[in-house]
Amino acid sequence: MTETRAGDTPLLEVRDIVQEFAVRGPGGVKGAVVHAVSDVSFQMGRGETLGVVGETGSGKSTLARSIIQAPRPKSGEVRFLGTDLMRLRRKALVEARRDMQMVYQDPFGSLNPRWRITDLVEEPLLGYGVRSAARRRERVRELLDLVGLDPGVFAGRRPYELSGGQCQRVAIARAIALNPALIVCDEAVASLDVLIQAQVLNLFERLRSELGLSYLFISHDLALVKQISDRVAVMHLGQLAEIGPSEELYRRPMHPYTAALLDSIPGLDPVTGEARRPTPPQGEPPSPIDPPSGCRFRTRCPLAQARCAEERPALRELAPGHQVACHFPLNFPLDADPAATTGTAARRTDAGLTDPGDISFP
């Protein structure tokens, strides 16, 4: 689902966001710049879950922080519920952030260890001026119930008396306290073991349907992202390589980087049905201080040609709602047999060498 589920205004519109950090380059030389996020654009609809995947350092967290303006991106546009966040002054931005909350990876680190759970969940209500103490107490009970923690058991405890999964439920209760429209989950289940991960993912799903929430769900775990996302965005070295409906993107990846990432997860070979050995994308990601010209993936891409060094590929819509930034996409034209191009990236070299030009679907 690429468009809004309710109303005409998209929940979130991100246009050409750039975020850079001044750092010392090799040899401690001043004046180097990390190109953490470069010209990223996408939209999210209400009630939608958009997964964001990519290797470590690909810019997922920086993108998330740029969206919530912490810190503000260097340039670009972020419209949230129709409001241009980049233009808001501090006070108005604090007000807008009510509707946009974060859940982080480390549930213990995000909770003050000295506070009782009831105080932790009450804090955002106090911060945003819910004046009546009785109303706040009632809301804390409601919220703990919603996230599956018995208020009678947990309200008086402190974070160190809770498991990682229970602490993450408290963090989620805090995040939903003010009825936000969007929750940005940055590796929100990465520190939990597999069974607890599944329970917390179920909680996210339940809250989405009960409260009409949307999630920007950042994770390096492609299998997990597939489970929860309507659409998935793939980031490579600060840029969007591909974005599209989850099922389709996993079944028919068009960017060689997406295909390489998919090859890195354990699974069955769709052609032979046998277990295949996961193979990570070849080579190390280039430095974000000095990214390659043209396509930033070209130095690792088995399909790269001269044009890839000369011209940055634009993100083009090659199937409905499915955009790809590649001069020589895989599985294109659309009637190409996806089974013929699955397997390792090396086996894809004879696939998808057609240049689709500027084809786009209405």
For ligand ATP, the closer CB: 28 or 357: 28
d(CA 279, CA 266): 9
For ligand ATP, the closer CB: 220 or 307: 220
Q: For strands 100-103 and 12-23, give the pairing.
A: unpaired
Closest by CA position to 218, among listed 249, 187, 239, 246: 187
For ligand ATP, the closer CB: 36 or 173: 36
Q: How far is the CB of 58 from ligand ATP (least distance, A)?
A: 4
Helix (H, G, I), strand (E, B) or coil at 36: strand
For ligand ATP, the closer CB: 57 or 338: 57
Q: How far is the CB of 19 from ligand ATP (least distance, A)?
A: 8
309 close to 292: Cβ distance less than 8 angstroms: yes
For ligand ATP, the closer CB: 73 or 288: 288
Q: How far is the CB of 47 from ligand ATP (least distance, A)?
A: 25
d(CA 135, CA 112): 23
d(CA 117, CA 336): 54
Euclidean distance between the first and the last CA atom of the chain, given in angstroms as a whole number: 15
Q: How far is the CB of 144 from ligand ATP (least distance, A)?
A: 30
Distances (CA, A) of 30 to 25, 37, 287, 291, 350: 6, 20, 16, 18, 44
For ligand ATP, the closer CB: 23 or 314: 23
Q: How far is the CB of 60 from ligand ATP (least distance, A)?
A: 4
d(CA 243, CA 112): 37
For ligand ATP, the closer CB: 62 or 214: 62
Helix (H, G, I), strand (E, B) or coil at 298: helix
Interface residue list for ligand ATP (CB under 6 A):
21, 23, 34, 36, 54, 56-62, 220, 288
Distances (CA, A) of 228 to 99, 217, 222: 21, 8, 10
* Strand locations in the chain (E): 12-23, 32-44, 49-53, 75-80, 83-84, 100-103, 182-186, 214-218, 231-236, 239-245, 267-268, 275-276, 316-319, 322-324
Helix (H, G, I), strand (E, B) or coil at 356: coil
d(CA 357, CA 318): 10
Helix (H, G, I), strand (E, B) or coil at 5: coil
Q: How far is the CB of 57 from ligand ATP (least distance, A)?
A: 4
For ligand ATP, the closer CB: 2 or 168: 168
Q: How far is the CB of 190 from ligand ATP (least distance, A)?
A: 9
Q: How far is the CB of 34 from ligand ATP (least distance, A)?
A: 4
Burial zone of 347 (CB within 10 Å; 0-12 exposed, 13-18 middle, 19+ buried) = middle
Q: How far is the CB of 75 from ligand ATP (least distance, A)?
A: 16
For ligand ATP, the closer CB: 64 or 326: 64
